[in-house]
Structure 1
């Protein structure tokens, strides 16, 4: 990457009106692991494609529990993702200690965006090099939020971030209208299939390389069992063979 005199800090604008450090952070997300989030009327699902540095290493965890009703997955720099996770856990715990109730997911996302914006306004800091998909459940139902290093956040019916996310987005766009009435098992299957269509054979898909988590009505945030993930992958492979 060419050195620019305008990328030494995050408050120096280029003549074209660009903040290069923010753009670098956004690019880090595009090169990170694939993350998928989708929701129905009752549940919200997070699914990730985990990577391993080598064949001798374990897969890196990308999905984390924040509270009983909130979880996140991140794409980008792992260190920044874990720092965001620690911040959200602290905020959720402080809110519960102060008010005696669970923190609203939207409020928590807003606090994260406020913190992310500070990183773009002081020359001594840098933007987070990680983007998150946050799944939560409150009195209004399940939610899927996306947060960015530029402090923007959005709520979606379904979304995907990370490397090769366009294939997953295309699949979600074609099927999202069926998600509201989908059952738990159907929603899990859609999440795993969205990951599968983006994998393109660059990693072996199994219960360890694909992580899936769920939260919803009567369901605290929890990880889907590896055996169940492998059963869904096997059924998807059989469906593809039949189509061929």
Structure 2
């Protein structure tokens, strides 16, 4: 994209009916590391690649907990995501304080869309340069939503955003029927593909939502057998495999720096994952 006379402000339309500042903000999402969201009938899972500026820096968090029943993964400007995450947490807290009930996911996503739309119509402001995948669970079941800098909101079965995310979306489109119903599955959370990120110092971040609880899979046990959690394993595996599609051909996806934990209802799935053995 090149600078032109119609991109000085977000309130200026081009003769083609485009708002260039919004398009620039959407390009910022494509520069962020990839993240994947997918759901079945009982679970919603978020998987993301984390980056560090160097070996001396810690990996940036890509998956954030909003409330007990909802979490987000981000691609784009982390600072903008932090502002939106704090807004979402405040709205969830208000719902619990006033109505003593979790905020419905559709209502929360609508509020986020409205907040992101405001700077697209006001002079002297810029759009939020971050895309969100919002995974939540309410009385209607699991949900995965996508929000864009343009303030558009999409209800998705599976989605990927960030750098090279088209490869992940292609993988999800081809295998959507394998994880959407969550049938004929078994749980053995053990991945045989090593995951190393030498060049870009990436890490893997995983989270899931089920039964009104956000699950942070950053400390997931190496192997778990539990029949009623069958489709969770399948979702995580498909999420990781889709995420692997976003990496260059000369890089592999392993669990060298990946750890996870899970809270499903009253069940707590321990915390332990060796950085050497992988998941």
* Larger RCO of the pair (alpha carbons < 8 Å, separation 6+): 1
Which runs of 5 or more residues in structure 2 are unaligned?
184-230
Residue pairs, 1:158-237, within 5 angstroms: 158-179=158-179, 180-181=181-182, 183-200=231-248, 201=250, 205-206=254-255, 208=257, 218=265, 226-227=273-274, 231-232=278-279
Any idea what the Cα deviations from partners look like across 1:195-229, whole Å, max 9, x if unmatched?
A: 11222245864353x687878x7379x99865599
Is 1:70 aligned to 2:118, yes or no? no
Give the secondary-structure state (helix, strand or coil) at the position aligned to 1:24. Answer: helix
Alpha carbons 2:259, 2:274 under 8 Å: kept: no
TM-score by length of 1: 0.85
Give the secondary-structure state (helix, strand or coil) at the position aligned to 1:98. Answer: helix
**Distance in structure 1 (CA, Å) of the matches to 2:74 and 2:152:** 15
Q: 1:134 to 1:68 in 2, by over 3 A?
A: same
- State the match for 1:235 in structure 2: none
Alpha-carbon distance, 1:17 to partner: 1.6
Is 1:28 aligned to 2:28, yes or no? yes
Give the secondary-structure state (helix, strand or coil) at the position aligned to 1:206. Answer: coil
- State the match for 1:143 in structure 2: 143
Counting matched residue pairs gives 230
Cα-Cα RMSD: 2.7
Alpha carbons 2:259, 2:275 under 8 Å: kept: no
**Distance in structure 1 (CA, Å) of the matches to 2:41 and 2:266:** 13
Any idea what the Cα deviations from partners look like across 1:156-195, whole Å, max 9, x if unmatched?
A: 1111000001111111111111212151111111111111
Q: 1:23 to 1:214 in 2, by over 3 A?
A: farther
Q: 1:143 to 1:54 in 2, by over 3 A?
A: same
Alpha-carbon distance, 1:134 to partner: 0.3
**Distance in structure 1 (CA, Å) of the matches to 2:270 and 2:161:** 20
- State the match for 1:39 in structure 2: 39
TM-score by length of 2: 0.75
Deviates more, 1:11-20 or 1:67-76: 11-20
Q: 1:225 to 1:163 in 2, by over 3 A?
A: farther
Alpha-carbon distance, 1:57 to partner: 1.2
**Relative to total residues, which structure has the larger helix share, 1 or 2?**
1
**Distance in structure 2 (CA, Å) of the matches to 1:224 and 1:16:** 54
Alpha carbons 1:44, 1:144 under 8 Å: kept: yes
Alpha-carbon distance, 1:3 to partner: 2.8
**Distance in structure 2 (CA, Å) of the matches to 1:134 and 1:218:** 20
